[in-house]
Amino acid sequence: MDRFLAMRVFSKVVETGSLARAGRELNISPPAVTRAIAGLEEAIGTRLLIRTTRKLTLTESGQRYIEDCRRILMDLEEAEAAAAGAFSQPTGTLTVSASVLFGRIYVLPILTEYLDLHPEVAARALLLDRVTNMVEEGIEVAVRIGQLPLSNLSAVKVGTVRRIVCGAPDYLERHGTPRTPEDLAGHRIVAATSVWTSPEWRFGKEEKTSVRVSPRLVCNTNEGAIEAAVRGWGLTRVLSYQVAPLVAEGKLVPVLSDSEEEPLPIHIVHPEGRRVTAKVQAFVELASRRLRDNRLLNTR
């Protein structure tokens, strides 16, 4: 049995939660996946996975072993990358993650520029409106908005954005402009389920205040909520970068600017390691310059 292959299979099964999906992603048959796991369990002398018709669950031994597997495989990848010259020049495939709208507007243009500069690199862009597990999902670089929890990730701050309430000029002309957060009670509110998880909107930097809002329209995307606001139906609350072009064009007007919370930081993050590959280093350097130079992402 190829022990390293078996460890890769085991790691992919845990990552995907499925024997069949792991096989598809590794381009091997389901029976080969089953044999690899069985061979690994036999070689170690303990059961690693509990398999039922509905799900896979790690045993206690499996929980300990998966961490060692990931560390060993990462060390192996670094050794192979060093031998292949990946630390001297950008090569291979780079996986980058960002939220859907931010990634589409800001990250993809940088990524395509990066690929033009480094023809030996291919890329995967994962645009997801959720926090990703970089190690488990094979992500090498991520752009994240908001305060970062303590972790073993290296982080480079590249800008800030604000949470803003905004509406179309004709809506404000018909319904008036709210002067205080409490005035929102008299306005039509549009919310997005991807960001609106609480009936309370928080305001203020030093003196905090919360206002309970009751959206009459809830959209499952930020784009939907923004479109309703542009059409003059009501007020919505989004991150400043999401509507910056519309504000510049005069299609949306920010309100309650004096009551905004502290800006949210934007970071480029990547897993720490003994060495950072050239492809990651080159992308981080390019993305840092481009995002820092973007005035829409450095609001105060």
Number of helices (H), then strands (E), belonging to the chain: the values are 10, 14
With residue 58 as reference, give the H or E element that holds it: strand 56-58
Q: What is the pLDDT of residues 188-218, one digit of tens each?
A: 999 987 654 567 888 988 778 888 888 999 9
Q: 3-class DSSP state for residue 220?
A: coil
Tokens 């069949």 map to which residue? Answer: 20
How far is Cα 214 from Cα 229, in angstroms, rounded to an integer?
Answer: 16
pTM of the predicted model, to two decimals?
A: 0.66
pLDDT at 81: 65
Q: What is the pLDDT of residues 156-180, one digit of tens each?
A: 999 999 999 999 999 999 999 999 9
Tokens 């305001």 map to which residue? Answer: 203
Over residues 267-292, the mean pLDDT reads 87
Task: Report yes or no: 228 and 244 within 8 Å, Cβ to Cβ.
Answer: no
Q: 3-class DSSP state for residue 218?
A: strand
How far is Cα 165 from Cα 236, in angstroms, rounded to an integer?
Answer: 6
Q: What is the pLDDT of residues 227-261, one digit of tens each?
A: 999 999 999 999 999 999 899 999 999 999 999 98
pLDDT at 274: 52
pLDDT for residue 275 is more than 70: no
The maximal CA–CA distance of the chain, rounded, in angstroms, is: 74
Q: What is the pLDDT of residues 57-79, one digit of tens each?
A: 899 898 889 888 888 887 777 67
23-to-27, 30, 34, 42, 285 alpha-carbon distances in Å = 6, 6, 9, 20, 35
Provide the pLDDT confidence category of residue 292 given band limits of 50, 70 and 90: very high
Over residues 272-283, the mean pLDDT reads 80
Task: Tell me the CB-side half-sphere exposure of residue 248, using CA atoms within 13 A.
Answer: 8
How far is Cα 222 from Cα 178, in angstroms, rounded to an integer?
Answer: 22
The residue among 128, 265, 254, 149 whose CA lies nearest residue 194 is 128
At position 194, the amino acid (one-letter code) is S
Task: Report yes or no: 140 and 268 within 8 Å, Cβ to Cβ.
Answer: no
Termini Cα distance of the chain: 58
Q: What is the pLDDT of residues 19-59, one digit of tens each?
A: 888 898 888 998 999 999 999 898 888 999 988 777 888 99
At position 48, the amino acid (one-letter code) is L
The angle, 0 to 180 degrees and rounded to 10, between the axes of the packed helices 3-16 and 19-26 is 120
